[in-house]
Amino acid sequence: MTTLFEKIIAGQIPAQIVFQDERVTAFRDINPQAPVHILVVPNKPIPTAADVAPEDEAVLGYLFIVARRVAEDLGIARSGYRLIVNCGHDGGQEVMHLHMHLVGGHRLGPMLPRR
């Protein structure tokens, strides 16, 4: 089944794309949780972090390169930001196409809510 993010990558669903090449697409989250909230997505639809395979090593590393570049482009490289990958049900993953959240633009709270 085609994922929502595959449709965005293919241009079938509109999104505010901030970076795209043959391997990775980065676009603004539709429901931003911070002044800057970007999703950095491998064009290849790996469902979750629990599904990564040895052949994905290069593109997974490249996600960090793209995140760094987008953070610089959007002016948050010096102030700092957080990179998040949710995995599966308990991780709160809603879209089953592996993606990295790049969030910043103000001081973020604790990494997890206090119990």
Residues in contact with ligand AMP by CB under 6 A are 4, 13, 15, 29-31, 39, 86, 92-95
Strands (DSSP E) contained in the chain are 17-20, 24-28, 36-42, 81-84, 100-104
Q: Whole-number minimum distance, CB 24 to ligand AMP, in Å?
A: 15
Based on CB atoms, which residue is closest to ligand AMP, 10 or 30? Answer: 30
Q: Whole-number minimum distance, CB 63 to ligand AMP, in Å?
A: 14
Beta strands at 36-42 and 100-104: parallel, antiparallel or unpaired:
antiparallel
CA 88/CA 85 separation, integer angstroms? 10
Based on CB atoms, which residue is closest to ligand AMP, 4 or 83? Answer: 4
Q: Whole-number minimum distance, CB 1 to ligand AMP, in Å?
A: 16
Based on CB atoms, which residue is closest to ligand AMP, 19 or 54? Answer: 19
Catalytic annotation, residues: 99
CA 30/CA 61 separation, integer angstroms? 25
CA 83/CA 86 separation, integer angstroms? 10
